[in-house]
Copies of this chain bind each other. A is one copy, B any other.
Amino acid sequence: MTELMDASADFTASCPLPIGNYPHVLLAHGGGGRLMQQLIDGVFGPAFANPALDERHDGAHLTLGGKGLAFTTDSYVVRPLFFPGGDIGAMAVNGTVNDLAMCGARPRWLSAGFILEEGLPMATLQRVVASMRTAAAAAGVEIVTGDTKVVDKGKGDGLFITTAGLGVIESPGRIGPGQVRLGDVVLLSGDVGRHGMAIMSVREGLEFDSPIESDCAPLVTPVMALLDAGVKVSCLRDLTRGGLVAALNEIADASGLQIDIVESAVPVIEPVRGACEILGFDPLYVANEGRFVAFVSPDTAELALTVLQRTLPDTRPARIGEVVTGRPGLVTLRSAIGATRILDLLSGEQLPRIC
């Protein structure tokens, strides 16, 4: 809180444009919450405005030679580099692959930019690169171009990776927040909260009877299966920074519709629920690296759930809610006893550097 107040104090002196009244970048600006939205709305959006960027989707839709292309990028700064169920290399491949899949695209090619800190053990780099290779093979993509920079010791943090991805769009219609319609059913591809709690347990040195593993995985197969089955998909979004709630808020906001979720329908495995209770987290806000929501037409919702259950037999896919008439941009949660509360964006991410 002190930092925020300090930041406000000297605002008028150094900041030409108010970005939510913060004259300096805070950790929370990278957290997938309200402050990041302000950074995008206040700095990046106005500067780079163009139709592809303005769609606010996980990737840009481009057209080339009659084909639809999806193009996306993500930087990865997760700490620690290795954690139960994954590492920065697997994340750098799967995260970008998943952003392409969320555009209804089959991921094809990746680029990889490495920013290494002087002194990084070569063995660490080799382990990360080997993990990227395995992940790329599993997701069916090739890493076709790359770059390496080295920064002085103390000016980085071991290893940062930025991947960009290219995919060929296979969905017949546009997929994105702008396509969401009243009555659309919200499906969730599996239980939430594993990635954040896996990272947190390492950072805090927690030991559980059964260690929580990150859900880090490629989502190409279930998405392609939905499209192949003829499901009418309006929007797809993977649940990374800010978890389920951030994804739903972004879609509610961009579509101008209200989304209503049934609390008891959202699967959370017992170890994650327990860890969240101990640490004071809400699993609906915790980051995932292998889960997504699908907004589908009501008449194909049952088919879609069957497809998800078939392609994701271990993750408990579920129907969790629907798009309703109400207040545009609102996400609401109905509890077992019938009470309704608003699921609002946090300012930042509960866990910095989660991805």
Interface residues of A (CB under 8 A from B): 14-17, 19, 22-31, 36, 39-40, 43-44, 47-48, 50, 52-53, 59-60, 62, 64-67, 69, 71-77, 108-109, 111-123, 125-126, 129-130, 132-133, 136, 142-152, 154-157, 160, 162, 164, 166, 168, 352-353, 355
Contact = CB atoms under 8 A, between A and B. Distances in A.
A74 B149 CA distance: 9
Most central of A17, A148, A166 by chain B CB within 10 Å: A148
A48 B143 CA distance: 6
A162 B52 contact: no
Nearest to A21: B122
Nearest to A67: B65
Nearest to A62: B109
B24 A149 contact: no
Contact of A24 (B47, B119, B126, B160): B119
5 contacts: A25-B120, A30-B151, A111-B164, A115-B115, A115-B160
Contacts of A130: 47
Copies in the complex: 2
The 9 closest A-B pairs by CB, nearest first: A30-B150, A164-B164, A162-B162, A73-B111, A60-B144, A65-B65, A52-B144, A75-B113, A65-B67
Contacts of A162: 73, 75, 113, 115, 147, 162, 164
The A interface, classified by DSSP as helix, strand, loop or mixed, is mixed
A24 B69 CA distance: 39
Contact of A121 (B24, B31, B59, B160): B24
A25 B59 contact: no
Most central of A75, A108, A123, A149 by chain B CB within 10 Å: A149
A72 to B, nearest CB: 5
